[in-house]
Amino acid sequence: QLSSLVLKSPLGSNPAFQVNLNTAGQGSSPLLSPVLSDAGGPRIEEDDEMKRKRYPTDKAYYIAKEILATERTYLKDLEVITVWFRSAVLKENAMPEGLMTLLFSNIDPIYEFHRGFLKEIEQRLSLW
């Protein structure tokens, strides 16, 4: 077991520098020692952690805004299918009625759900 590291001066037998590596009696991590930090000042990881604790909602808010933007895009895509495609098919009489019913019976509930979901997300973000 290493308890200390001794560097000897090339000119004599007296130790020029000694570092104690035994941390059993210290109770703190050797990574928090002044030897490993920059001149006894706060460490960079501690600064980052303090920023995260001080501004915890910033990251969550931006994630929620990204979800909102994605939901808006998705709803527009569903609208293209349910509104514009359906009206074009009906106008051109390009598909039998039974096939139209089968096709849109699955898409309409999804579209309606996401319309309500988008409104709820917008309301919650407006209160953030």
**pLDDT tens figures, 75-124:** 999 999 999 999 999 899 899 989 988 988 989 999 999 999 999 999 99
State the CB neighbour count (10 A cutoff) for residue 109. 10
DSSP 8-class letter at 9: P
pLDDT of residue 117: 96
pLDDT of residue 65: 93
pLDDT of residue 5: 47
pLDDT in tens, 32-66: 444 444 555 555 666 766 666 666 567 888 999 99
CA distances from 68 to 61, 75, 111 (A): 10, 10, 16
pTM above 0.75, yes or no: no
Higher pLDDT, 11 or 102: 102
| Residue 68 confidence (pLDDT) above 70 | yes
